[in-house]
Structure 1
């Protein structure tokens, strides 16, 4: 790269977009992750904080384990694996695009929940990528929107990932309105007072952000309840909460918030890494 070093990850991605960079950005931290770029567009993000495309395809039952292993053996280059899956009739091109793109946005959101560390650039690494990829600016804007929405509905999103929801005693599989969507029933089946929203997301092969919204919805329906929440120093949280389900889709996207600055010799302050697919 040329000129000054970018001050944060979004600025770095914008610079790499201008340079049509193809390669991988490794971001340290908890959870940290790898951002795979193709011609400057974000094709995939892999992080321990969110389910991968593989998890979304296999855990959901879209593709069987046997078919997946056979496909990987036939096409070892993950960049071309998607085309092979479609050619073999294991998934549709449109469905695969939706799954891969959704995974990019969800992984960016998961990485934004904790302060990032430093980063380093490396050569292109094989990955099952979204085609053609996601614009870095869209990624940042969408993550900022998701963080703001969860903060409005519940409180600090990073804190929500650590709570362990429990089912409300006597609550059945139906909401107070007499009907509960299938996705909510699936999430409710994983609520046991020990699993975090991230645990449930991995168990279902679903996006972390979507699971968090569903849990907020089910709390509003009095189907789940939270453990007593505390801050890092052990004191009860005073974060504002407005768990009203009818507002979940009504909030407009705010201005994109920058990620923390990268500082030599230490981790930068908290930030947002974010996405949004146009439309």
Structure 2
């Protein structure tokens, strides 16, 4: 499998970084539409990025609603909005960037930050996350790998996010898909998927392979949202011969986490920016016009 490092060397990443930082420095207020896969929209105010939306990552509303935290306070709401913004940038640079164009009369979204983030800092955070994924034993991308459980396991032996990944991985869902289904940021989901693949608990199968299903034994009262059930077990039914169960004892330990894999660890900081606007800014297909 090709590593993630090639994303950092492609013109698309350079284009996005150059476009956002230049727009922040020279104009400061407005927005850029990023074309590509998954693409997105970047909103700026006073030279700082205040919101980023992308179909490649859950927005603040999804993170709050799917996780059951709809009544968040002001401090938690800011953290969720910041996390969603950083996650959207990561999803864009982990994909393919074709070009950037200035939005006409952009309306600032209602979930914009009161105090934004410096464009350079925001892009550097995304670059560090890509580099961290690339050095893992089994690097993955948010919108590519669609794994299935590789062996029969008792999912109660795993952490909450790992348990959700084992249950949700069915050969059709990517890390991005699972992030939306579980109301989690796409970056930590991608990291945990890479760790489970590297440890042999998940595997990627060809589309032509026989369908793999996960059968769960649920407690009579059913499952509560984000609450580990008392007797939950994922069983992989494969054809023609079932895989042997794991030997008694705890599951093998997974590799150590990469620092910063589970959320926001950096402090907020602003950047200085110029006040002049040198004319209409437009970038297409990696060429400044």
Unaligned runs of 5+ in 1: 1-6, 64-89, 230-243, 252-261, 269-279
Question: What CA RMSD, in Å, does the superposition of the two structures yield over aligned residues?
Answer: 3.0
- Cα 1:91–1:267 change in 2 (3 A) is same
Structure 2 residue 204 is the aligned partner of structure 1 residue 226: yes
Unaligned runs of 5+ in 2: 1-13, 208-253, 262-280
Structure 2 residue 150 is the aligned partner of structure 1 residue 172: no
Secondary structure of 2:155's partner? coil
- Cα 1:141–1:223 change in 2 (3 A) is same
In 1, are the aligned partners of 2:19 and 2:100 still within 8 Å (CA)? no
Report which stretch shifted further, 212-221 or 49-58: 212-221
Which residue matches 2:60? 53
Shift of 1:263: 10
Secondary structure of 1:104's partner? helix
- Cα 1:228–1:17 change in 2 (3 A) is same
In 1, are the aligned partners of 2:19 and 2:283 still within 8 Å (CA)? no
Aligned length: 209
**Residues 1-279 of structure 1 mapped to structure 2, 5 A cutoff:** 8-19=15-26, 21-63=28-70, 90-122=71-103, 123-127=105-109, 128-154=111-137, 157-158=140-141, 161-175=143-157, 180-227=158-205, 245-246=255-256, 248-249=258-259, 266=285
| Structure 1 residues 84-112: Cα deviation after superposition (integer angstroms, max 9, x where no partner) | xxxxxx32111111110011111001111
| Structure 1 residues 61-82: Cα deviation after superposition (integer angstroms, max 9, x where no partner) | 211xxxxxxxxxxxxxxxxxxx
Query: Structure 1 or 2: larger helix share?
Result: 1
In 1, are the aligned partners of 2:50 and 2:112 still within 8 Å (CA)? yes
Separation of aligned partners in 2, 1:223 and 1:15: 44
Higher relative contact order (CA 8 A, sep 6+): 1
Secondary structure of 1:26's partner? strand
Report which stretch shifted further, 108-117 or 119-128: 119-128
Query: Structure 1 or 2: larger strand share?
Result: 2
User: Rg larger in 1 or in 2?
Assistant: 2
- Output the TM-score relative to the length of structure 2: 0.64
